Structure 1
C-alpha cells in the first residue's frame, strides 16, 4: 500500500485527526450544553442515576480536557504550514496571519456573546499573536518552552484555592439559577444571564490577570504542534507507524492513569494538577494513536473519510454544534436543559456528529470549503476566491499547498 504523504495527503491526515478531535470536543461540550459550564461539575443538582454518574466519571477520564488540546496541537501544526506556504509564495506572512487571528477573535466574540459561553475561537485568535514569537523557532526551543509552561501549569494546579472554596454558597445559587434560566428562559434572558452572572465573584484585577495569562497557559500544545510540523511529522505515516504506536502505548496509559487517580481518589490539592497534566499526555497519546491507525488503513475507509470531511469544515461544524445543541437544551428551543442525562447526551452527541459527517461529505462534493472556512481564507488572503496570490512564479514541479486551520 502506497502510504506516502505528499502535500495534499499530508493535509488530509491533519484534517482527519482534526475531525476525530471534534467528535471528542462535542462529547465533552455536551455536558456543558445540558448542565452549564459550572453545573457539569455540580451534578448533585441534577439527581443523576448511578449509570449517569459512572458515565460522567468515565467521560472525565477519557474525554474531558483531552480533545481540545488535540485541536491546539493541530492549530500550531497548520500555522507553521500556512506560514511556510506564504513564504514559498513570496508573500508577507505577518499581515496575513494577523488578519486571520483578528477574524478568529471576531468569530469567537460573536459566538460567545450571541450563542454560548464555551467558545474557543476567541482564545485561539488571541494565542495566535503570541505564537508569532515562536512560529520560526528551532524545535529544541519550542520543546523547552512547551515543557516549561506545562510544568508551570502543573504547579499552578497545586496552589490552594481558598477563594473558590469560600464561594460555595454563591456557586450553589448560580447553578440553581442556571437551571431555571437556561431551561425555561427566553433568548434575551439566557444571554443576559450568561454575560452578567458571575459565580466566582473574582476581583476585577484577578479576572483581568487571568485573561491576560490564558494564552500562556494554552501555549504548550500549540508549541508541540509547531515542533511536529518543523520535524515534518506525519509526512510518511507508514514509515512512522511503529514509532507512533510505541508513543501511543506509552502516553495513553499514563494519561488515563493520571486522570483516573484525580477522578476516583478522595479530593485533594493534587486533583486539578493531575487532571491538567493527564489531559495533555492523553491528548498526545490520542494523536499518536490516530497517526498509527491512519498509517495502517486505506484513506478510502468510510470512517476515515467521515473524520476528514468534518475536519475540513471544522469551524463551520463547531459553530453548528453550538446552534443545534443550544436549540435543543435552552428554553428558547426545546428546553431540555438538565433533562436528557449523561449517557443519553453521549448518544445524542454521536447522532449529531454522524449527521454532520453525512451532510458535510455531500457539501464537499460541490464546495472545497465550508462557509466560515471560505470567509476566513478570503479575509486572510484578501482575495474573493479565498486563494493566496503568488508574488513570484513557482518553479517547475512546485505544487500549490492547501492548508486548513
Structure 2
C-alpha cells in the first residue's frame, strides 16, 4: 500500500508539472496578444505559417490544459479531505480557508500582474465543490456527465451569421488596438491602469459576459467532479493494473476531443460559420481532450521503465502554484513595455519558443530548489493559512484522557 501511495503522489505531482507546459504555451497568446486579442490574429498581422501554428494551438493546447489543473484540483481536494478526516479534523473548514486564500492570491495576481488569472475562479469554484465533497463516486459521475451533456448541448446550437457575436464589435477591436500600444510600450503603472479600468466590451456585451461568469463554475464543474471521482475510485493507485483502461480512455477521449476542437476551429475558416455544433469544441472538446491527455500521461507511469523527465515534471508539479505565478512574472517582463516590449511583435511560433524556454528553466531549477527546501514559498503560505500553523502542518487533535479521580482532561 505504501508503494502504491507513493506512485499515486508521484503521478499527481507529475501531471501537475506536465500541465504547466501546456498552460504556459496557451497563456503565451494572452501574454502576447491580450485576453481579447488572442483570438483575433488578423488584427496583429498573423499570417502564413504563424497563422497555421496559431490554429494548431487552439486545437491541441488552448482550453485543454487548464482543465487538467481543474481535474487535479478536484482530485487533491478529496485526498486532502481524507487526510484531515484521518486526523479527526474538519475538512470543510480547512478547505474553505484554502479556497479563500486562493481567491485573494488570484485577485492580487489579476490586479497587479496579468489579466489571464485563473486562481480567483478556482477559489470561487472550490466553495461550490464543497457541496459534492462527501458524494459517492456514482453520484459524482452522474453529475459530471449530466453537466457535460448540458454544456455540450449549448454548443450544438448553430450560430446565426447575421447576429453579432459578443466581443466582436468595433468597440472591442478598438480596445485590442489600444492594448497593443499600451502593453507594448507602456510603463507598469500605465499597463495596470489600462488593464483594470479600460472597458473592452459594449454595455450589452458586458451583460452577456457577466451572465457567463456566473455560470462558469457550472460549465467547468465536470472536470473538477471527475477528478474527485478518480480520487474516490483510486483510478491512479495502481497504474500498471489500469494500463488497458488508460489506453482505451486516452484514445477515445483524446480522439473525440481533437475532432470536435478541430471542427470548431477549422470549419469557420472554410466558410462554415452557420454549421451546427461549432460551439461543441469550445464547450466540450477542451475537456474531452484534457481527459485524453490525462490518461495518456498516466500510461507513462504504467510501464516498467521510469523516465528521468518524469522526476522533473514531478518537481515542477510540487511547486505548481509558485511556478504558475513565476511564469506570469517572467512572461509579462518578456512581452510588456516595462520589460522587453515584445507584445504583438514576436509572432506565435517565436513566442511559443520563448515561453517553452521559460518552462525548460523551471524543469531544470525546480529539482535543485527541492534539494534545499521541502515546499515552494507560495505553497508554504497556503499551507500555513490552511492549517493555521506556522509549520504548515495539520494540528493534532487533542484527545481527552481520564485523570486519577476519573475526570476527563485534555492531553
| TM over 0.5, shorter chain | yes
SS at match of 2:174: helix
Q: Partner residue of 2:338? A: 332
Is residue 2:307 matched to residue 1:270? no
Give me the whole-angstrom Cα distance separating, in 1, the residues matched to 2:9 and 2:367: 17
Q: 1:158 Cα deviation (Å)?
A: 4.6
- Answer yes or no: is the 8 Å Cα contact 1:5–1:235 preserved in 2: no
Structure 1's 196 and 49: CA in aligned 2 closer, same or farther, altered over 3 A? same
Q: What is the aligned partner in structure 2 of residue 197 from structure 1?
A: 198
Contact 2:256–2:285 (Cα < 8 Å) also in 1: yes
Distance 2:55 2:368 in 1: 36
- After superposition, the Cα gap between the structure-2 partners of 1:377 and 1:152, relative to the gap in structure 1 and judged at 3 Å, is same
Aligned-partner Cα distance in 1 for 2:279–2:201: 17
2:298 is aligned with 1:291:
yes
Q: Give, in whole Å, the separation in 2 of the partners of 1:149 and 1:195.
A: 33
Residue 144 of structure 1 is aligned with which of 142, 145, 150? 142
Counterpart of 2:133 in structure 1 is 135
Q: Which has the higher contact order (CA 8 A, sep 6+)?
A: 1
**Alpha-carbon contact 1:77-1:222 (below 8 Å) kept:** yes
1:2-401 equivalent positions in 2, closer than 5 A: 5-158=3-156, 162=163, 164=165, 167-203=168-204, 206-265=208-267, 266-268=272-274, 270-299=277-306, 301-391=307-397
**CA-CA distance at 1:25 after TM superposition:** 0.4
Paired residues, number: 390
Q: Which residue of structure 2 lines up, in the alignment, with residue 399 of structure 1?
A: none
The answer to whether the 8 A contact 2:154-2:279 is kept is no
Contact 1:90 1:392 (8 Å CA) reproduced: no
Contact 1:65 1:276 in 2 (8 A): no
- RMSD over aligned Cα atoms: 1.8
Structure 1 residues 328-337 or 208-217, which shifts more? Answer: 208-217
8 Å contact 2:261–2:280 — kept in the other structure? Answer: no
Query: In 2, Cα distance between the equivalents of 1:207 and 1:165?
Result: 8
Q: How far off is 1:218 after superposition?
A: 1.8
Alpha-carbon distance in structure 2 between the residues aligned to 1:165 and 1:206: 7
Could you tell me whether the CA contact under 8 Å between 1:4 and 1:236 is conserved in 2? no
Q: Taking structure 1 as reference, are residues 158 and 190 closer, same or farther at Cα in structure 2, changes over 3 Å only?
A: farther
The offset of 1:390, in angstroms, is 2.4
Question: How big is each residue's C-alpha offset from its partner over 1:83-120, in whole Å with a ceiling of 9 and x where there is no partner?
Answer: 00000001111221111000000000000000011101
- TM-superposed deviation, 1:167: 4.6
Residue 370 of structure 1: CA displacement? 0.5
Cα-to-partner distance string for 1:163-184 (whole Å, 9 max, x where unaligned): 5358521121011111111101
Shift of 1:384: 0.8
Moved more, 35-44 or 74-83: 35-44
Deviations 1:15-73 (A, max 9, x none): 10111111000000001101111111111122124110111111111111110101000
The question of whether the paired residues in 2 share the 8 Å contact of 1:48 and 1:341 is answered with yes
Distance, in Å, in 2 between the alignment partners of 1:292 and 1:348 is 29
Instruction: State the distance in 1 between where 2:257 and 2:2 align.
Output: 30
Larger radius of gyration: 2
After TM superposition, which residue ranges in structure 1, 4 or more long, deviate above 6 angstroms? none
Distance, in Å, in 1 between the alignment partners of 2:360 and 2:388 is 34
Q: TM-score if structure 1 supplies the norm length?
A: 0.92
CA deviation profile, 1:288-309 (whole Å, cap 9, x unmatched)? 100112211544x221011101
| Residue aligned with 2:16, SS | helix
User: In 2 relative to 1, CA 5–222 (structure 1 residues): closer, same or farther, beyond 3 Å?
Assistant: farther
The answer to whether the 8 Å contact 2:112/2:192 transfers is yes
Residue 205 of structure 1: CA displacement? 5.2
What SS does structure 2 have at the residue aligned with 1:334?
Answer: coil
C-alpha separation in 2, matches of 1:210 and 1:168 = 18
**Does structure 2 conserve the Cα–Cα contact (< 8 Å) formed by 1:105 and 1:122?**
yes
